């Protein structure tokens, strides 16, 4: 149990730091919602090496933490919408075994953006936000591929390690 807690804590810290790093990298193209999704890498690794429930917990904790630390309530709402939809899709996509980790990562990124737009559209009651959809889809694909590829490498290396340590 102690090992498990320590491992989870480490993952949360990692995800948290990635979120912070990402907030430092301004991708200033004037479109809200575009992000690299570094933190999603941790989510993917968790999902593949540990399981669904820890991945969900990790995601929630990270979003709440970063929301309070770097953002505001509205940002947290967007992140929650995006993060949960993204995770849901990733879990399903993984179950179907149709896609590789990269594919799952792309789907996660794309649906993260879709989820954010949906929440934003509900909050500001303005459907014109869907104007950003094409760009967000494309950015999701691009960054999803990158994150997915790195994630795949990590999963490969880490799953052996985790098994050896007998954490879970």
Partner 1 sequence: MKKKYQALILGIVVIIFAGILLWHGKNTTKTERFEAQFTDVFDTVTNIIGYGESQETFTRQVSELKEQFDYYNQLYDIYNDYDGVNNIKTINDNAGKEPVKVAPEIIDLLKLGKEAYVETNGQVNIAYGSVLSLWHDYREAGLNSPTKAELPPMEEIEAKAAHTDINQLIIDEEASTVYLADAEMSLDVGSIGKGYAVQKVADYAKAHNMNHLLISAGGNVCVVGAKEDGEGWSVGVQNPDLSSDKEYVQKVKLQDMSIVTSGNYQRYYEVAGKRYCHIIDPDTMMPAEHMASVSVIMKDSGKADAMSTALFNMDYEEGKALVESMDGVEAMWILEDGSIQYSSGFSKYLEK
Partner 2 sequence: MKKNDVIMIGIIVVIALVALCLVNLYGKWNTKDAQAVVTIDGTEYGRYPLSEDRTVKIESENNGYNLLIIEKGDARIEEASCPDKICVRHKPIDKTGETLVCLPNKVVVEIENGEEADVDASTN
Residue numbers at the binding site for partner 2 (CB under 8 A) = 98-100, 102-103, 106-107, 110, 130-131, 133-135, 137-138, 140-141, 145
Write phi, then psi, for 116 (nearest 5 degrees). -60, -45
Is the CB of 40 or the CB of 139 nearer to partner 1? 139
Give least dist CB 155 to partner 1, A.
Answer: 18
Q: Per 3-state DSSP, what percentage of the chain is helix, strand, and coil (rounded to 5)? A: 85, 0, 15
Is the CB of 28 or the CB of 72 nearer to partner 1? 28
Residue 13 interacts with, from partner 2, partner 1, none (CB under 5-8 Å by kind): none
Q: Residue 79: how many CB atoms within 10 A of its CB?
A: 25
For residue 109, give the nearest of 77, 76, 127, 135 by alpha carbon: 135
> Which stretches of the chain bind partner 1, using CB under 8 A?
28-31, 34, 134-135, 138-139, 141-142, 145
12 within 8 A of 65, measured Cβ to Cβ: yes
Give least dist CB 70 to partner 1, A.
Answer: 23
């Amino acid at each position: 149990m102690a090992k498990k807690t320590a491992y989870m804590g480490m993952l949360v810290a990692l995800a948290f730091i990635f979120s912070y790093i990402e907030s430092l990298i301004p991708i200033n193209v004037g479109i809200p919602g575009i992000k690299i999704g570094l933190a999603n890498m941790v989510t993917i690794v968790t999902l593949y090496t540990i399981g669904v429930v820890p991945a969900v917990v990790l995601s929630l904790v990270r979003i709440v933490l970063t929301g309070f630390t770097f953002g505001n309530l509205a940002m947290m709402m967007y992140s929650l919408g995006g993060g949960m939809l993204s995770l849901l899709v990733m879990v399903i996509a993984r179950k179907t075994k149709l896609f590789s980790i990269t594919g799952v990562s792309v789907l996660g990124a794309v649906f993260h953006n879709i989820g954010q737009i949906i929440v934003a559209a509900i909050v500001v009651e303005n459907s014109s936000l869907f104007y950003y959809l094409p760009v967000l889809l494309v950015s999701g694909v691009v960054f999803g591929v990158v994150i997915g590829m790195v994630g795949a490498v990590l999963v490969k290396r880490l799953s052996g390690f985790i098994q050896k340590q007998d954490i879970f």
